[in-house]
Structure 1
Amino acid sequence: MQVMGIPVWMPKDAPHPPSPSPSRGEEGQEAVLTNLTSLYPSSLPSPLEGRPDEGLGAGQGGRGSCSHLSWQDLRAAVQSCTRCALAKTRTQAVFGTGDVQARWMIIGEAPGADEDRRGEPFVGRAGQLLNNMLAAIGLPRESVYIANVLKCRPPNNRDPKVDEAANCRGYLERQIELVNPTLILVVGRIAAQNLLHTDAPLARLRGKQHRAPVSGTPVVVTYHPAYLLRQPADKRKAWEDLQFAREILATHVN
């Protein structure tokens, strides 16, 4: 992949991947993913069955009830939330992490098992790949803010239900308001569909500049790192998405 001009997203201390063989193909891709295996099922999540058209308004998790909250109060509201059954199965709510004044905000779909245990988004092997993707465009993890559409882990890593995502929407919208990022990078189809209020497939959402419905922040959509662990050939497309996002950011900064 290096020969093809595509960055190899590996930990800084990891050994360099072996040179690709003359036969190309899957052998080179597997070398890039040495010691990395997928944390998620082999199939992509199924599309959402639908979405609410509006925020929840008054009530915990609704935008109206969160719009005045400080970071401290918002975190407390998320950690004590009991709006849905996920509160009974979670180890802890996963709020968000990173620079609260970041120019880049990364939004994923829902916590996995590692995130549920540690209380921080993207800390498993998919998180390691996300860190490497960000590093490839000069962004340390600490320089961005990372959050999820859903604040609690769905059992068995199933897709978020419509009402679950709706219950968390106000929390995420308030996080976006507080961070006030220059650009939002959304990773994965489910996160993109929830944030953008669409049922369009990821292929139609990539390569375009979108706007977050409430804040108007520019949004770029790319693949979820867990998907890239299963389909490393699509790292080329993900790299294109990152370059596209960086170009958009430059136009809004300069």
Structure 2
Amino acid sequence: MNIEERLSLMKEKIKEISESYTEESIGGWITGNGPVPCKILFIGEAPGKTEVESGEPFVGMAGKNFEHYLNLVGLNRDNIRITNACYFRPIKIKESVSGKPSISNRSPKSSEIKLFTDILNEEINLVDPKLIITLGNTPLKTITDFNSIGECHGNLILSTKINRNVFPMYHPSSLIYNRSNEFKDMYLQDWHKLKEVLKNLI
């Protein structure tokens, strides 16, 4: 099978898993986006509402932050691949005061991430990146032995799980929730460190 056929088969698998999943509420699914093969692969947590509607990862508020920093280090969406550890959108549904259902994102459960482990590994092998950048705790825990982004962000590590170079970073949505100058400075420093790593690796 060529790359296009393998990507098409992956999409079918994602669709099948997502559409037959009944344990929790979910709100649609997406696939990875960007060239294959590709030297740089970013892995996020799971898609949100905007991502599912557009069919692309990182296009909401966090996506705007993401693109700003990408451009800052000389990258753009044309020369990177972006995917997620969980390919469907995990949601929680609550009834509001007016009686209408209120839908919001939730973090994927470890059992939900496990549904896609083989597919994510297959995507990594297809993309064959020189560097994987994990965004947040979920992808970090999925492809490395680290449990917390605080332990290793901004450092190049070799993942023994997948035998590839990994650069862990905070998720771009963390800038929405943590507005302290100290955090912003640290986040910016991590992108500058990434720029140096890319110079040496790629």
- What's the offset of the Cα at 1:214? 4.7
Query: Conserved in 2, the CA contact under 8 Å of 1:212 and 1:218?
Result: yes
| Dislocated runs of 4+, deviation >6 Å | none
Identity, in percent, stands at 27
Q: Would you say 1:202 and 2:138 are equivalent positions?
A: no
Identify the structure with the greater strand proportion. Answer: 2
Corresponding residue number in structure 1 for 2:112: 164
Corresponding residue number in structure 2 for 1:44: none
Encode CA deviations 1:212-247: one digit per residue, 9 max, x unaligned.
Answer: 445422111111111112224223212222222232
Letter in 1 for 2:77: R
Corresponding residue number in structure 1 for 2:131: 183
Q: TM-score, normalised on structure 1? A: 0.66
Distance in 1 separating the partners of 2:163 and 2:134: 14
Corresponding residue number in structure 2 for 1:52: none
* Length, aligned pairs only: 183
Query: Conserved in 1, the CA contact under 8 Å of 2:25 and 2:90?
Result: no
**Is there any run of 5+ residues in structure 1 with no aligned partner, and where?**
1-68
- What's the offset of the Cα at 1:88? 6.2
Corresponding residue number in structure 2 for 1:226: 173
Distance in 2 separating the partners of 1:122 and 1:141: 10
Distance in 2 separating the partners of 1:86 and 1:135: 39
Q: TM-score, normalised on structure 2? A: 0.82
1:237 to 169, 175, 186: 186
Cα root mean square deviation, aligned:
2.0
Any residues of structure 2 matched to 1:115-154 within 5 Å, and which? 115-154=51-90
Letter in 2 for 1:247: E
Query: Conserved in 1, the CA contact under 8 Å of 2:140 and 2:168?
Result: yes
Letter in 1 for 2:67: N
Q: Specify the structure having the higher radius of gyration (Cα).
A: 1
Query: Conserved in 2, the CA contact under 8 Å of 1:86 and 1:152?
Result: no
